Structure 1
Amino acid sequence: MKKVAFKTLGCRLNQYETDAIASQFQDNDFQLVPFDKEADVYVINSCTVTHQSDHKSRNFINQANRKNPNSILVVTGCMANNAKNELESREEINYVVENDRKSSVFSLVEAHYKGEILHPSKLNTDLFSYGSTEKGFHTRSMVKIQDGCDNFCTFCIIPSVRGRAVSRPIQDILDNVRDVISNGAKEVVLTGVNIGRYEFENYKFDDIVEQILELEGDFRLRISSIEPDGFGDKFLGLLNHPKMTPHLHLCLQSGSDPVLLQMRRMYTIKRFKEIVDRVRSVRSDFNITTDVIIGFPGESDQDFDATCNIIKELQFGHVHAFKYSIRKGTRAERMTEQVDEKIKTKRSELLRGISDQVKKQYRTEFIGKEQIVLVEKTNGKIAKGYGEHYIPVEFSGEELKKNHFYKVKIKSMTAEDEPVLTGEQMI
Structure 2
Amino acid sequence: MKKIAFKTLGCRLNQYETDALASQFQSNGYELVSFDKEADVYVINSCTVTHQSDHKSRNFINQAKRKNKDSVLIVTGCMANNAKDELENRDEINYVVENEQKSSVYSLVDAHFNGEILHPSQLNTDLFSYGSTNKGFHTRSMIKIQDGCDNFCTFCIIPSVRGRASSRPLADILDNVKQNIAKGAKEIVLTGVNIGRYDFKNYKFDDVVEQILNLEGDFRLRISSIEPDGFGDKFLSLLDHPKMTSHLHLCLQSGSEPILLQMRRMYTLKKFKELIQKIRAIRSDFNITTDIIIGFPNESEQDFNATCNIIRELNFGHVHAFKYSIRKGTRAERMPNHVDERIKTKRSEILRSISEETKSNYRKSFIGKEQYVLVEKTDGLNAKGYGEHYIPIEFAGQNIQKNQFYKVLITGIAAGNDPELIGEMIQKKDA
Task: Judge same fold: TM > 0.5, yes or no.
Answer: yes
State the alpha-carbon separation in 2 of the partners of residues 380 and 38 from structure 1: 30
> What is the DSSP-based 3-state SS (H/G/I as helix, E as strand, rest coil) of the residue aligned with 1:426?
strand
How far does residue 117 in structure 1 lie from its aligned partner after superposition? 2.0
How far does residue 94 in structure 1 lie from its aligned partner after superposition? 0.1
How far does residue 357 in structure 1 lie from its aligned partner after superposition? 0.4
Where does residue 152 of structure 1 map in the other structure?
152
TM-score by length of 2: 0.99
> What is the DSSP-based 3-state SS (H/G/I as helix, E as strand, rest coil) of the residue aligned with 2:297?
coil
State the alpha-carbon separation in 1 of the partners of residues 411 and 245 from structure 2: 22
State the alpha-carbon separation in 2 of the partners of residues 154 and 242 from structure 1: 38
Matched letter for residue 259 of structure 2: V
State the alpha-carbon separation in 1 of the partners of residues 176 and 119 from structure 2: 30
> What is the DSSP-based 3-state SS (H/G/I as helix, E as strand, rest coil) of the residue aligned with 1:320?
strand
Structure 1 stretches lacking a partner, 5+ long: none
How far does residue 222 in structure 1 lie from its aligned partner after superposition? 0.2
Matched letter for residue 117 of structure 1: I
Where does residue 182 of structure 1 map in the other structure?
182
CA-to-aligned-CA distance 1:167-202 (integer Å, 9 cap, x gap): 000000000000100100000000000000000001
Moved over 2 A (4+): none
Percent of pairs with identical residues: 78
How far does residue 137 in structure 1 lie from its aligned partner after superposition? 0.1
State the alpha-carbon separation in 1 of the partners of residues 369 and 305 from structure 2: 34
Contact 2:377–2:383, Cα closer than 8 Å, also in 1:
yes
Where does residue 240 of structure 1 map in the other structure?
240
The total of aligned residue pairs comes to 427
State the alpha-carbon separation in 1 of the partners of residues 90 and 127 from structure 2: 26
State the alpha-carbon separation in 1 of the partners of residues 302 and 416 from structure 2: 31
Where does residue 369 of structure 2 map in the other structure?
369
State the alpha-carbon separation in 2 of the partners of residues 380 and 408 from structure 1: 15
> What is the DSSP-based 3-state SS (H/G/I as helix, E as strand, rest coil) of the residue aligned with 1:96?
strand
CA-to-aligned-CA distance 1:31-54 (integer Å, 9 cap, x gap): 000000000000000000000000
> What is the DSSP-based 3-state SS (H/G/I as helix, E as strand, rest coil) of the residue aligned with 1:93?
coil
Where does residue 166 of structure 1 map in the other structure?
166
Where does residue 294 of structure 1 map in the other structure?
294
Matched letter for residue 156 of structure 1: C
Where does residue 35 of structure 1 map in the other structure?
35
1:6-405 equivalences under 5 Å are 6-405=6-405
State the alpha-carbon separation in 1 of the partners of residues 124 and 206 from structure 2: 31
State the alpha-carbon separation in 2 of the partners of residues 102 and 198 from structure 1: 21
> What is the DSSP-based 3-state SS (H/G/I as helix, E as strand, rest coil) of the residue aligned with 2:292?
strand
State the alpha-carbon separation in 2 of the partners of residues 228 and 132 from structure 1: 29
How far does residue 65 in structure 1 lie from its aligned partner after superposition? 1.3
CA-to-aligned-CA distance 1:65-111 (integer Å, 9 cap, x gap): 11111100000000000000000000000000000000000000000
Contact 2:380–2:401, Cα closer than 8 Å, also in 1:
no
State the alpha-carbon separation in 2 of the partners of residues 126 and 50 from structure 1: 27
Structure 2 stretches lacking a partner, 5+ long: none
State the alpha-carbon separation in 2 of the partners of residues 127 and 345 from structure 1: 38
State the alpha-carbon separation in 1 of the partners of residues 31 and 131 from structure 2: 18
State the alpha-carbon separation in 2 of the partners of residues 358 and 12 from structure 1: 24
How far does residue 124 in structure 1 lie from its aligned partner after superposition? 1.1
TM-score by length of 1: 1.00
How far does residue 17 in structure 1 lie from its aligned partner after superposition? 0.1
> What is the DSSP-based 3-state SS (H/G/I as helix, E as strand, rest coil) of the residue aligned with 1:226?
coil
Where does residue 416 of structure 2 map in the other structure?
416
State the alpha-carbon separation in 1 of the partners of residues 20 and 380 from structure 2: 29
How far does residue 380 in structure 1 lie from its aligned partner after superposition? 3.5
Question: What RMSD over aligned residues (CA atoms) do the two structures have, in Å?
Answer: 0.4
How far does residue 417 in structure 1 lie from its aligned partner after superposition? 1.3
> What is the DSSP-based 3-state SS (H/G/I as helix, E as strand, rest coil) of the residue aligned with 1:189?
strand
